[in-house]
Amino acid sequence: MTGLNPTHDPKRKSWVDTANSTDTDFPIQNLPFGVFSEGEGPRRVGVAIGDMILDLTALEVGGKLTPGGDTKVFDQGVLNPFMGLAQTVWSQTRAKIADLLDAEGGDPSLPLVARSAAQLHLPVFVRSYTDFYASKEHATNVGCMFRDPDNALMPNWLHIPIGYNGRASTVVVSGTPVHRPNGQLKGPQDDAPRFGACQKLDIELELGALVGTPNPMGQPVGAAEAYDNIFGYVLINDWSARDIQVWEYQPLGPFQSKAFGTTISPWIVTREALEPFRAPAPERVQPLLPYLHEETPNNFDIRMEVALAPKGQDATVISRTNYKYMYYSSALQLVHHASSGCAMETGDLLGSGTISGPTPDSFGSMLELTWNGRDPVEVDGGTRTFLEDGDTVAITGWCEGAYRIGFGNCDGTILPAVDFGIS
């Protein structure tokens, strides 16, 4: 299922003029899938093209696009029915859409909606959410902060993709505000914990993989198969309450410190669209077990930025990094997840874990950028160690080559903690 095809041709242009701009996230070579509505209208499936959205639900009703044959798959306001089809159908549908939008031989009468006039929604029903810890740089930084710098990585880290099961119920689409969480807090000098609002609210810059092809319970998958089973990718901000986390995480890992909100970008960039930007994994410090062996480069060269805007102020870019630094690819995360016989379902979301690079300005969390609050970062109007109420965080990501493949924004604004009147 892998490899380049005519949808990747850098010479292709669209009759949608804005799709031919060199700085658009959504040229004809991208064609990411999402869900949108107009006003109070129903949710519809669409593809981003330039500054427009191609209405796939309308095309299916009109018979111009029938990936499900006699069964409609774009009429339920989520992409799961389409993602559950055969991988060949994903590719055929993408090729058909590209032909319809092509400047030569396309159909300019297709139903388009301006992106500026549309409301974007969560594109999938997230069946389950698993978050990993797959950046060697991030894991090393955290280990240096909270353990012995000479033994920053736990003994298992170089052999196994570390992860935990998060909360699918609080995965929200870009633009959804997130309340500062409450939880149990206990400082190193405190005799007992207290209940209150998080004081060390953080970001986690991640990439999320969405499973398309499921595997039955008891049936593992290999690395090549896992790569193909991934339908596409989204940006993730996995908001984190560091002071709640440090008290609760032993012995079973994060719980309430991560359960309160996870923001994803609204457009799913397909695996096929990212094919020209595949990149090798970093050199292995220790050889991986055979079931985690990759024959092909399964990382991607995706540039990523985090910008922070205090309320009423301009945004400041506080981090620039790249997904290619990840030690364990999304495919290997999926391999390991299914290796026990765990059934992976259409719509499962796998978070990469914080993406940090080798330099201080490429760290993917404020915990690292400020070294747990020791070194504040400059933002418009002041400094930050962790997030304050009213702050807006915007994550962007894109691939750059003969054309640009972008994900759109992954934004969220922090609201004050809810006062429960308890302590």
Prediction pTM value: 0.97
- Side-chain half-sphere of 222: how many Cα atoms within 13 Å? 7
pLDDT of residue 3: 86
Name the CATH superfamily for 6-121: Fumarylacetoacetase, N-terminal domain (2.30.30.230)
C-alpha span between 300 and 362 (Å, rounded): 16
| Cα separation, 365 vs 168, whole angstroms | 21
Two structure tokens written together for 334 = 């999926």
CB 414 within 8 A of CB 273: no
Q: Is the dihedral of CA 221, 222, 227, 228 positive or negative?
A: negative
pLDDT in tens, 258-296: 999 999 999 999 999 999 999 999 999 999 999 999 999
Rounded CA gap, 155 and 145, in Å? 17
Residue type, 104: E
DSSP state of 343: P
Length of the chain (residues): 423
Q: What is the pLDDT of residue 115?
A: 97
- In sequence order, which ranges of 133-207 are alpha helices (DSSP H)? 136-146
Q: Identify whether the C-beta of residue 80 lies closer than 8 Å to the C-beta of residue 347.
A: yes
Domain 129-415 annotated CATH 3.90.850.10? yes
Q: Which positions are catalytic?
A: 138
Q: Which of 7, 104, 88 is nearest to 47 (CA)?
A: 7
252 CB-near residues (< 8 Å, 6+ apart)? none
Residue by residue, pLDDT tens for the chain (423 residues) are 568 999 999 999 999 999 999 999 999 999 999 999 998 999 999 999 999 999 999 999 999 999 999 999 999 999 999 999 999 999 999 999 999 999 999 999 999 999 999 999 999 999 999 999 999 999 999 999 988 898 999 999 999 999 999 999 999 999 999 999 999 999 989 999 999 999 999 999 999 999 999 999 999 999 999 999 999 999 999 999 999 999 999 898 899 999 999 999 999 999 999 999 999 999 999 999 999 999 999 999 999 999 999 999 999 999 999 999 999 999 999 999 999 999 999 999 999 999 999 999 999 999 999 999 999 999 999 999 999 999 999 999 999 999 999 999 999 999 999 987 765
Q: Which residues contact 203 (CB under 8 A, 6 or more apart)?
A: 237, 239, 240, 306, 364, 365, 366, 387, 393, 395
Closest CA to 24 of 115, 158, 117: 115
Instruction: Of 265, 272, 268, give the one whose Cα is nearest residue 238.
Output: 265
First to last CA, the chain: 55
Q: What pLDDT is attached to residue 420?
A: 79
Position 415 scores a pLDDT of 98
pLDDT attached to residue 148: 86
Of the candidates 208, 210, 333, which has an alpha carbon nearest to the alpha carbon of residue 262? 208
Positive or negative, the CA dihedral 310, 135, 304, 320 is positive
Domain chopping of the chain, boundaries: 6-121, 129-415
Residue 422: per-residue pLDDT: 65
